[in-house]
Structure 1
Amino acid sequence: KADEIILASDPDREGEAIAWHVEALLSESKKKVPPKFKRIAFHSITKDAIMEALEHPREIDMSLVEAQQARRILDRLVGYKLSPILWKKVRRGLSAGRVQSVAVRLIVEKEREIEKFKPQEYWQIRVVLETNKGEEFVAELAKISDKKAVVDNGKKAGEIVEALEKGNYVVLEVRKSERKVTPHPPFKTSTLQQAAANVLGWSAKRTMNVAQKLYELGNITYHRTDSFNLAPVAIDGVRSFIGNTYGPEYLSKETRFYKSGGKVLAQEAHEAIRPTDFSRSPDRFEGQDALAADQARLYSLIWRRTLGCQMAEAVFDDTKVDIKCGDIRLLAAGVVMKFEGWKKLFGKDKEEQQNLPEMNEGDALERKKVLSEQKFTMPPARFNDASLIKELEKRGIGRPSTYAAIISTIQDRRYVEQKDKKFYVTSIGIAVTDFLVENFPEEMDYEFTAKMEDNLDEIAAGKLKWMTMLGTFWKVFRDKLEKVDKESARVGVPTKSTGQKCPLCGEGEVVIRDGKFGRFLSCNRYPDCKYTAPFIEYLEGVACEKCGKRVVLKKTRTGKDFFGCEDYPNCTWASWRKPQVKGEEKTDVVVEEKGGEE
């Protein structure tokens, strides 16, 4: 019945495509005079933002619509055509994706780096020293005969310790300097996801769900953005708030602007993620519904990060003292915060090491104790949500708005699993990745995947025709599909030996397999022997808090991990938190908080 219809879907490519579809559907009405359509876009759900958008309506941007359509079709061409080949060559029920498969490749390659890693022995040698005023501090071995000290065995460590226990100590040089630390830029989507993973322990999916609610409630600006930019009105608001609340000394001398790492197209130039009202500090914030506590925690991160970006630098006094003991050189380092600046928002800083006593060149020092500790180099760290998102962004794989979906999908497909917040590749993930890399090297190439994202950006900017891009891709990809379907050999999914004989046939060996619904036990003579049994993963050194029996890792019906008693249902003890192993340091690892399951 309306004569005018305003389309106000989200201000991104997906929102633009929704507006276009809605207009197309409503234009089919039987009215003699079709309604007029106007497209408005706003980046926060506030009265001012909406009124401003209503004053500046526009036409639907077909370049953005075509970029979204191109992505959807491209993803379906790859997924719908590659998946049947995986069913035929690897195992039924598997799937491939243009971006998800490349993300799994990153985790597979990390796994192989870890497997190849050989720990190297080294020794850390420190000396507890005392000044003539009785003030103690710690210095660490730095050089021997003016060369960097490399202590890679116990014999060498013992010789150095012996020399340190006999020698005299003199201050060789005292170096003092002032160091200023600038604040981080405001959040964009990827950095918000990384911060929530590191600080709150959240998955990318959980972060985006909570951010969506904060946006819908009008508390923050749009949360899918590649930009560090703040609108002039926001900069004025935040600087005024800082000056009035903390004093002018806490305000940066000049307005601080941040450059976005990647390309931000003019028609997609959203703001950074920021509060819509800076006076709504975290202690005044009230969330809504069951996720109110989560909303408050994420809002606090966003509020502090936005305020911090316009605050004064933190200032530290760094002191380094070179100490001589024969031909051995030791180094003592001290850091003291001189002015907290933007760090006032974040409490005590980890950078504070030790406040060194006052010393001068030539001062004699007394040795109190020599400490030596054997250590070994650590393998590369496994990916977690934060580091995987950082790597995807660095390589240009996917876009921030897709990271949460990518990470969820590769877990849902059981190509990777998450333990203690870290990603581990499964045998299925390895088999599929190896098959795809061998047979579709270009499509699995990081640079090629990034180039496809750039092409989609070019379409959004109106510089590339979407049908041309898809046609060029499909022509080459179709030929590869046909060749691989005819010529490639079938591959098996690796299994893990248990060392136990099959109880059914007595000939085969029981192995652990990865299946569609998780790990299970079977005979390695399958399909000749049909033996199967559930795989139970016990936690070593942990007893049920209720009955004392062993603790097992279990899964909910939606695939989330939790810990339970092996004697269920006789014992109903269960926990989202990993029980502490006797002798281990206390862990804060939570599989997923109750009420927060995704």
Structure 2
Amino acid sequence: MAKSLVIVESPAKARTIGKFLGRSYQVKASMGHVRDLPKSQFGVDVENNFEPHYITIRGKGKVLQELREAAKKAETVYLATDPDREGEAISWHLMTALGLDEERVRRIVFHEVTAEAVRNAVKNPRGIDQRLVDAQQARRVLDRVVGYQLSPLLWNKVRRGLSAGRVQSVAVRLICDRQDEIDAFEPEEYWTVDVTFRPVPVNGQTEPAPEGEAGQDRPPAVFVARVERRDGKKLELANEAEAQRVVEELAGLEARVASVEEKERRRSPYAPYTTSTLQQDASHRLRFSASKTMRLAQELYEGLPLGPEGHMGLITYMRTDSTHIAAQAQAEARAFIEETYGPEFRPARPPQYKNRKGAQAAHEAIRPTSVYRTPEKVAPYLSRDQLRLYRLIWERFVASQMSPARYQTMSVRVAAGPYELRATGSRLVFPGFLQVYRADETETSKMLPPLVEGQLLEQLERKPEQHFTQPPPAYTEASLVKALEELGIGRPSTYAPILETIQKRGYVELVDRKFRPTELGRVVVDLLKEYFPNIVDVEFTARMEAALDEVEEGKQDWVSLVRKFYDPFQEQLRHAEATAERVKVADEETDEVCDKCGRKMVIKHGRYGRFLACSGFPECRNTRPLLEKIGVDCPECGHPLVKRRSRRGKTFYGCSNYPDCRFVMWQKPVPARCPKCGSLLVEAQGGRGRKAEWVCPTKGCGHRQPAADPKEAEAIQAQA
């Protein structure tokens, strides 16, 4: 017998681990799953306790043969797949497919790809955890039952080629329900009245700074208070006349400070990232999709060449719902914080963060494998996007181990006749974790001048302002992931695939980064709500997720779980097949005209996404790609610029007159020219609290300007 064999999923992980273990170990990659249910058959034996019929995935025969040859020569085979249900299932499939004896197999898990973690895992192997395998198998069988048996019904009743997913359908319903709320919303008018005051100095009180000269440590000369009550009751102003009445009544009233309350407020740091919060923050701050975030995180986890340091994993495992941090990592972070920022930035005790109910406490949060591997140190070895995501993870983790920020706050009540007004101010006195990580810029210092109870105030301006209540916001990728997690739908490994799948199926679309259901999505959800209420029921799906967790914990048998779902589902399926009527989905009409017959073109959905087709089908079979205009004209020929995708899926912007005009840009152009050189300006997202800008892409120009709002942009385009 020769070397021990270690099997991981990917070549990148194999390269990294191979450097740690040395010549006594041979490390090979399985390239992900090697067995699965067949695509062309149901693959589940319902009569035999839902026994799955697994086959070798097409193209994996050669990989398995190489692994068999290596396993024959090895005394011990270490299965080092990812530390979750999916990874456990891959290890189990490998053991079965390779025909390995359990005595020769060692299952090892580690949550970071570092030399110490891998070597410790090899010293502490275990067997395959059948509970994890059963939980994954139950999920796979449930999804196969729904997908394989429900899809033909959708073909017959709606449109050929459709498919439905057990968890994805709930996500589509959430988006449909939210859009219904938005469509039904009727805005209500309301008004507020703000008053600008100048304090009248009292005996011994120094004059505040002149207006406009107040700095971080100098109080302003004036402050603004909002009218909140009249005769002790909350004031609600429904229209301009009511607001104007308040303004007129205030004009003749003496105003004095009724009370001043000062106290210190502490703002605690955020917990380190879980999969969900990482996807949300990467969406908000970096504008990454959930799938892009997970792809980059996978690369950082599996390891990258870091120059003299060699291949090294930069972050811990990125599929986790736990905020737990290992004691050793906390100790290292505390030492780093004290060395870098000072002892006052290190709290007396390491912070502890509460996990949400059902979280896998044995896992760790997403953190850097070493805080001393700062973003600046690894920058030369990472791509731009890898570095941006790593910086986000590094900053969030370091900040999570730092002291709270402290603010000096001031709350003032002003009395003017029957009216009560309120103003609040705050001043940052100690930045704490904000020294490293600022999630947003809404918490800015807003100081008030020095005030004492009973002090007379001079009214400078009374400003009535109209407002309208706002509808609930449409879901973005970030807010949908947050909703799925809060509702108990899906798990860390499924958020990104859910978002990707519902878009690929044409059930929803992203418009200006907000989800909007398509007509097709609404039709499918309505059908499921009527005939398969459990499939699109949030609570039912959440209970199913909890039941899968119980299988993993050994509290429930996976076969009985599937049986409880399967029998009622079959009844619903038979009823729908017998009674549901066929629904026609109207195609979305466009202003495009067919260049062959002159009829209007409509938007259709195919296996590769949306495309334009002639409304005269089948008489006219003309089709062409659907080009998404961005509201900017080509600077070379004047035709509209459109959004396109490269073969690798990367977005770029090109002329709709292609191939006659070959103008392209990788950054999104905006309807404005550079005042210096005349080039089209492009979008530059501020990120990390900075506002979005329009910048000149011409090398050496360097022009930047604040981004215009959408209405301004339309006006600029109209004038161009």
TM-score over 0.5 (shorter chain): yes
Q: Is the contact between residue 489 and residue 545 of structure 2 (CA under 8 Å) also seen in structure 1?
A: yes
Q: CA deviation at 1:515?
A: 2.2
Pick which of 360-369 and 432-441 moved more. 360-369
1:440 match: 532
2:337 alignment partner, one of 223, 242, 256: 242
**In structure 2, what is the Cα distance between the partners aligned to 1:88 and 1:282?**
54
**In structure 2, what is the Cα distance between the partners aligned to 1:77 and 1:359?**
69
**Which deviations, in whole Å up to 9, do the C-alpha atoms of 1:302-331 show, x marking residues without a partner?**
112212222111111111111223222222
Confirm whether residue 53 of structure 1 aligns to residue 121 of structure 2: yes
1:395 alignment partner, one of 482, 487, 507: 487
Secondary structure of the equivalent of 2:536? coil
After superposition, residues 359-374 of structure 1 pair within 5 angstroms as 359-374=451-466
After superposition, residues 207-226 of structure 1 pair within 5 angstroms as 207-217=293-303, 218-226=313-321
2:174 match: 106
Q: Which runs of 5+ in 1 are unaligned?
A: none
Secondary structure of the equivalent of 2:74? coil
Secondary structure of the equivalent of 2:163? coil
**In structure 2, what is the Cα distance between the partners aligned to 1:320 and 1:239?**
35
**Which deviations, in whole Å up to 9, do the C-alpha atoms of 1:444-469 show, x marking residues without a partner?**
11111111111111111111111221
1:476 match: 568
Secondary structure of the equivalent of 1:428? helix
> Structure 2: which amino acid aligns with 1:15?
G
Q: CA deviation at 1:564?
A: 4.2
Q: CA deviation at 1:252?
A: 1.4
Q: 1:487 to 1:556 in 2, by over 3 A?
A: farther
**In structure 2, what is the Cα distance between the partners aligned to 1:568 and 1:172?**
70
Identity among equivalent positions (%) equals 43
Q: CA deviation at 1:551?
A: 4.3
**Which deviations, in whole Å up to 9, do the C-alpha atoms of 1:510-550 show, x marking residues without a partner?**
58544223254654x8778878777665556x444444444
**In structure 1, what is the Cα distance between the partners aligned to 2:639 and 2:132?**
59
1:346 match: 437
2:75 match: 3
**In structure 2, what is the Cα distance between the partners aligned to 1:430 and 1:488?**
16
1:12 match: 84
Q: Is the contact between residue 335 and residue 351 of structure 1 (CA under 8 Å) also seen in structure 2?
A: no
Q: CA deviation at 1:255?
A: 2.1
Confirm whether residue 356 of structure 1 aligns to residue 448 of structure 2: yes
2:610 match: 518
**Which deviations, in whole Å up to 9, do the C-alpha atoms of 1:367-407 show, x marking residues without a partner?**
22222332222211111111100100111111011100100
**In structure 1, what is the Cα distance between the partners aligned to 2:605 and 2:514?**
21
Confirm whether residue 182 of structure 1 aligns to residue 275 of structure 2: no
Q: CA deviation at 1:181?
A: 1.0
2:407 match: 316
Q: CA deviation at 1:278?
A: 1.3
1:119 match: 187
Confirm whether residue 272 of structure 1 aligns to residue 344 of structure 2: no
Q: 1:171 to 1:390 in 2, by over 3 A?
A: same
Secondary structure of the equivalent of 2:424? strand
**In structure 2, what is the Cα distance between the partners aligned to 1:557 and 1:114?**
36
Pick which of 437-446 and 149-158 moved more. 149-158
Q: 1:131 to 1:28 in 2, by over 3 A?
A: closer
After superposition, residues 389-468 of structure 1 pair within 5 angstroms as 389-468=481-560
Q: Is the contact between residue 427 and residue 494 of structure 1 (CA under 8 Å) also seen in structure 2?
A: yes
Secondary structure of the equivalent of 2:436? helix
1:152 match: 238
Q: Which runs of 5+ in 2 are unaligned?
A: 1-72, 201-206, 211-220, 304-312, 673-681, 687-696, 698-720
Pick which of 496-505 and 355-364 moved more. 496-505
> Structure 2: which amino acid aligns with 1:280?
R
Q: CA deviation at 1:298?
A: 1.3
Secondary structure of the equivalent of 1:174? strand
Pick which of 366-375 and 220-229 moved more. 366-375
1:196 alignment partner, one of 252, 272, 282: 282
Q: CA deviation at 1:182?
A: 1.0
Q: Is the contact between residue 613 and residue 621 of structure 2 (CA under 8 Å) also seen in structure 1?
A: no
Q: 1:262 to 1:587 in 2, by over 3 A?
A: farther
Q: Is the contact between residue 495 and residue 511 of structure 1 (CA under 8 Å) also seen in structure 2?
A: no
Q: Is the contact between residue 255 and residue 457 of structure 2 (CA under 8 Å) also seen in structure 1?
A: yes
Q: CA deviation at 1:412?
A: 1.0
Q: Is the contact between residue 269 and residue 404 of structure 2 (CA under 8 Å) also seen in structure 1?
A: yes
Q: Is the contact between residue 282 and residue 303 of structure 1 (CA under 8 Å) also seen in structure 2?
A: yes
Pick which of 152-161 and 439-448 moved more. 152-161
**In structure 1, what is the Cα distance between the partners aligned to 2:185 and 2:535?**
28
**In structure 1, what is the Cα distance between the partners aligned to 2:98 and 2:655?**
57
Pick which of 114-123 and 487-496 moved more. 487-496
Secondary structure of the equivalent of 2:575? helix
Q: Is the contact between residue 215 and residue 221 of structure 1 (CA under 8 Å) also seen in structure 2?
A: yes
**In structure 2, what is the Cα distance between the partners aligned to 1:136 and 1:395?**
46
Confirm whether residue 171 of structure 1 aligns to residue 264 of structure 2: no
Q: 1:281 to 1:492 in 2, by over 3 A?
A: same
After superposition, residues 508-587 of structure 1 pair within 5 angstroms as 512-516=602-606, 517-518=609-610, 520=612, 523=615, 538-539=629-630, 542-553=632-643, 563-575=653-665, 578-580=668-670
Structure of greater relative contact order (alpha carbons < 8 Å, 6+ residues apart): 1
Q: Is the contact between residue 431 and residue 494 of structure 1 (CA under 8 Å) also seen in structure 2?
A: no
Q: Is the contact between residue 287 and residue 296 of structure 1 (CA under 8 Å) also seen in structure 2?
A: no
Q: 1:365 to 1:490 in 2, by over 3 A?
A: same
**Which deviations, in whole Å up to 9, do the C-alpha atoms of 1:335-387 show, x marking residues without a partner?**
11111111111259531242111011222222222223322222111111111
Secondary structure of the equivalent of 1:400? coil
Q: CA deviation at 1:161?
A: 2.4
What root-mean-square deviation, in Å, do the aligned CA atoms of Structure 1 and Structure 2 show? 3.0
**In structure 1, what is the Cα distance between the partners aligned to 2:112 and 2:594?**
62
Secondary structure of the equivalent of 1:401? coil
> Structure 2: which amino acid aligns with 1:171?
V
2:229 match: 143
Secondary structure of the equivalent of 1:244? helix
Secondary structure of the equivalent of 1:333? strand
Confirm whether residue 231 of structure 1 aligns to residue 326 of structure 2: yes
> Structure 2: which amino acid aligns with 1:221?
T
Q: CA deviation at 1:437?
A: 1.1
**In structure 1, what is the Cα distance between the partners aligned to 2:646 and 2:521?**
22
Secondary structure of the equivalent of 2:379? coil
Q: Is the contact between residue 321 and residue 360 of structure 2 (CA under 8 Å) also seen in structure 1?
A: no
Confirm whether residue 284 of structure 1 aligns to residue 377 of structure 2: yes
Aligned length: 578
> Structure 2: which amino acid aligns with 1:177?
K
**In structure 1, what is the Cα distance between the partners aligned to 2:493 and 2:647?**
27
> Structure 1: which amino acid aligns with 2:286?
L
1:303 alignment partner, one of 394, 401, 408: 394
1:488 alignment partner, one of 570, 580, 584: 580
Q: Is the contact between residue 427 and residue 514 of structure 1 (CA under 8 Å) also seen in structure 2?
A: no
Q: Is the contact between residue 287 and residue 295 of structure 1 (CA under 8 Å) also seen in structure 2?
A: no
Q: Is the contact between residue 318 and residue 334 of structure 1 (CA under 8 Å) also seen in structure 2?
A: yes
**In structure 2, what is the Cα distance between the partners aligned to 1:480 and 1:588?**
51
Q: Is the contact between residue 577 and residue 589 of structure 1 (CA under 8 Å) also seen in structure 2?
A: no
2:15 match: none
Q: 1:589 to 1:295 in 2, by over 3 A?
A: closer
Q: CA deviation at 1:500?
A: 11
**In structure 2, what is the Cα distance between the partners aligned to 1:247 and 1:366?**
45
> Structure 1: which amino acid aligns with 2:402?
M
Confirm whether residue 251 of structure 1 aligns to residue 341 of structure 2: no
Q: CA deviation at 1:415?
A: 1.0
**In structure 1, what is the Cα distance between the partners aligned to 2:501 and 2:415?**
57
**In structure 2, what is the Cα distance between the partners aligned to 1:522 and 1:141?**
60
